[in-house]
Amino acid sequence: MALADELDPLGSLHDWVAFDLRRYRLAHGMSQADVGRILNVRRSAVHNYESGLRPLDIEHARKLDSAWDTCGHFERLVTHANQQHDSGWFEQFLRYERRAKIIRAYEALVVTGLLQTPDYARALLIAGGVLDVDAALNRRMERQLLLERRDPPVRLSVLLDESILSRPVGGKAVMREQLAHLLKAGERPNVSVRVVPTDTGEHLGLDGSFQVIETATDTIAYLEAQGGGRLDRGEKDVERMMVNYDHIGDYALPVSQSRSLIGTAMEAMT
């Protein structure tokens, strides 16, 4: 299935932009290279626009409206997509995550989803009031196959607030298993887990959890929020989150000390 076939124009304004770009291009009998010449970009850039891997910017939207005489259709869509909360944010996030080359994750409250055990994840889903827990759990576990494929991300770098280690999500037995899983995951050459001590005091991470994901074609930032989240794809926004991640990392313990702290917390879960 082509990436463009995964788009849901009813669930996401950004998907609607990508969907209509492809539909109008085909209606005009044009190739992606043809559209690239209109926008003064490479064919690969048009492919990324149509696949939802990169958002169409406002200037390119205006060029399309002019070339195809669409009376401001693309400009209006892109404007609203950039201004409004996108209900399809998570599906967009998953498309980036599946193609991630580098993932940087800071977690303030819970273990990051890619490193959760089934029982730990189940406890979180139940606490979150998810209606179909089994379906949601299966979906979360399927995401973790990213780390098992032949070409996994070259780097998964995780920063965890120390308070996560002492919170017995699912009970002490479940938490002990989760902490053991973190130690095992950290043995992978492409996985780094470091802990930000609670005695650090105030730092940028207190604003909430976030991730920065790099793919072969783009970099995005995902900021977590109660009942949802937000994707930032603007260059300045992503750069800001990269800088924030580095600042938080300055307070994190080295890998070896983090492993010792995780091990101590695991032993306390008896």
pLDDT tens track for 84-103:
655 567 777 888 899 899 99
**pLDDT tens digits along 58-76:** 999 999 999 999 999 999 9
Which two three-digit tokens encode residue 187? 């043995």
Picking from 50, 83, 116, the residue at the C-terminal end of a domain is: 83
pLDDT at 87: 57
- Average pLDDT score over residue span 5-29: 86
Last residue of a domain, one of 67, 83, 99: 83
**195 has which bridge partners?**
160
Say which range, 18-22, 255-259, 262-266, has the weakest mean pLDDT: 18-22
Q: Over the stretch 157-180, which tens digit does the pLDDT of each residue have? A: 999 999 999 999 999 999 999 999
- For residue 180, being part of any structural domain is answered with yes
**pLDDT at site 227:** 59
- With 50 as the cut, is the pLDDT of residue 196 above it? yes
Mean pLDDT (the chain, rounded): 91
Whether 244 and 161 share a structural domain: yes
Domain boundary among 83, 106, 136: 83
Tell me how many domains the chain contains. 2
Give 55's pLDDT tier (boundaries 50, 70, 90): confident
pLDDT tier for residue 1 given thresholds of 50, 70 and 90? very low
pLDDT > 70 in the chain, percent: 94
Helices (H), 128-207: 133-143, 163-166, 172-185
Statement to judge: residues 72 and 101 lie in one domain: no
Contact 194, 249 (CB under 8 A): yes
Question: Using CB atoms within 10 A of its CB, is residue 14 exposed (0-12), middle (13-18) or buried (19+)?
Answer: buried
**44-73 burial string, b = 16+ CB within 10 Å, else e?**
ebbbbbbbbbbbbeeebbebbbebbebeeb
Strands 210-214 and 102-107: antiparallel
Per-residue pLDDT tens digits for 99-156 = 899 999 999 999 999 999 999 999 999 999 999 999 999 999 999 999 999 999 999 9
CATH of the domain at 170: 3.30.870
Residues 59, 107, single domain; the answer is no
Residue among 150, 153, 222 at smallest CA distance from 185:
153
Q: State the residue range of the domain holding 47.
A: 8-83
pLDDT confidence bin for 245, thresholds 50/70/90:
very high
